Chains A and B, each alone.
Chain A
Amino acid sequence: MTVRLVVVSHSGKIADGAVELAAQMAPDVLILPAGGTDDGRIGTSLAKVLAALEQAAAGGGVVVLTDLGSAVMMAESAVEFLPEPDSVLLADAPLVEGLVAAAVAAQAGADAAAVKQAAEAVRPAPVREAPAAAEEATPGPPEATGDFELINLAGMHARPAAKIAGGLSGLEAEVTVNGVDGTSMTALMTLGAGMGSVLHVEAWGQDAAKAVKYVGGLVEAGFGEP
């Protein structure tokens, strides 16, 4: 039984959109939106949050993600109304990135505590060196390499990972970033690379140089983020 997720946002559109995004990466995970007030205004609604929590209750645990401060308070308060408040965990994480990470973890079969941890781990974390396992399957030395330091505040999170993976997918090249598949958004996210960590890029194939240049360009521009 996979862990189920509930998204509490002030905006119905944010909740629905975040669920839509995360569901693409976790098709088997039940992710329920609880955004906006009962009459569709900006705000949070106890009825919506309770309904989502009740619908999620029968699974392998529930993890809640929230956006702004009073959505956190609403989620905490709603949990107090439940017959078993301890069955629900609140993740203290950025909504979109945290939800994606939580959904991927739940899809992989993690338990509720591990799903919460996956969500909370998307914050800039200490650099973790990835094993260079991918090289075993790759013939010969790389045809192009590059090392690029992450300068954006949030480091490698969902959006940069999506940009890198999306762009590399269109090139004729095999690319690894710190040893993981550069065309896999989720693999890139699991690097846990925060601001200041260095991405080591290796590429093979016709577009190898282009691929390294592409990643370098994105990283050096901070992915267009602060």
Chain B
Amino acid sequence: MADHRTELIELDRAIGDSDHGENMDRGFKAVLEKLAEAPPATPGAALKLTAMALMSKVGGAAGPLYGTAFLRAATSLGDATDIDPAALAAAIQAARDGVVARGKAESGDKTMVDAWTPAVEAAAAEAAAGNGDVLKVLRAAAEAAEAGAVATDPLVARKGRASYLGERSAGHRDPGAVSTALILRAAAGAAE
């Protein structure tokens, strides 16, 4: 997130209030500190700790949205120590459902949902293929989220601050969709 801080700031400057890069960088720095302080025992515990750190430090709307995403994913994984592809795909879906429940956005509204939903579908398809590889699930989710973010370019925003711009929001990529893709790509990178 630190490497992409400027990119997110620039994207958000075009159609938002230019704080997304700053907020996400600060939030994930806090996540890294918390994880280092007390390394969690399970993936679920790590996701819950991430949720709390993001919600405490991000400040903007992205805080509760990503906080809810990570919290719902944590709840979905429970106390499991080994995560299989189906459980991982279910956790990604729980994260997306949390974002939708919290932000009330739908596909095509030019929000992070436009990255999450293709990621959910790709992860589910990869898990259903049954090759038992969580890394492939994460890669499929990240790729789909990246494509979903690119596909927000022509959309007119219907949710969030960009929606105030109406038609003028078209022609810009949604910063939240980009940060969602970055998170899923980082998860795949960590699994590698």
Contacts and interface: CB of A to CB of B under 8 A. Distances in A.
Contacts of A44: 59, 63-64
B71 A80 contact: yes
Contacts, number: 50
Given A38-B56, A45-B56, A46-B56, A74 B71 contact: no
B120 interface: no
B55 A46 contact: yes
Contacts of B55: 45-46, 74, 77-78
B51 to A, nearest CB: 8
A41 B57 CA distance: 11
Contacts of A41: 59
B71 A81 contact: yes
Interface string A67-105: 001100110111011000000000000000000000000
Interface in B41-61: 52, 55-61
B60 A77 contact: no
B113 to A, nearest CB: 14
A41 B56 CA distance: 12
B64 A70 contact: yes
Contacts of B180: none
A77 B61 contact: no
Contacts of A74: 55, 63-64
A46 B63 contact: yes
A73 B61 contact: yes
A81 B56 contact: no
A43 interface: yes
B108 interface: no
A47 B56 CA distance: 6
Contacts of B61: 69-70, 73
Interface residues of A, number: 18
Interface residues of B, number: 16
A34 to B, nearest CB: 12
A43 B102 CA distance: 17
A73 B52 contact: no
A104 to B, nearest CB: 29
A77 B64 contact: yes
A37 interface: yes
B179 interface: no
A45 B52 CA distance: 10
Contacts of B57: 37-38
Nearest to B160: A69
A201 to B, nearest CB: 41
Contacts of A37: 57, 59
Interface string A36-53: 011001111111000000
Interface string A16-37: 0000000000000000000001
Given A76-B102, A77-B102, A81-B52, A46 B59 contact: no
A80 B68 CA distance: 8
A44 B59 CA distance: 5
Contacts of A73: 61, 64-65, 68, 102-103
Nearest to A48: B56
B67 interface: yes
Interface string B63-107: 111011001000000000000000000000000000000110000
Given A43-B59, A44-B59, A46-B67, 4 more contacts: A37-B59, A43-B58, A45-B56, A73-B68
Interface of A: 37-38, 41-47, 69-70, 73-74, 76-78, 80-81
20 contacts: A45-B55, A45-B56, A46-B52, A46-B55, A46-B56, A46-B64, A46-B67, A47-B56, A70-B60, A70-B61, A70-B64, A73-B61, A73-B65, A73-B102, A74-B64, A77-B55, A77-B67, A77-B68, A77-B102, A81-B71
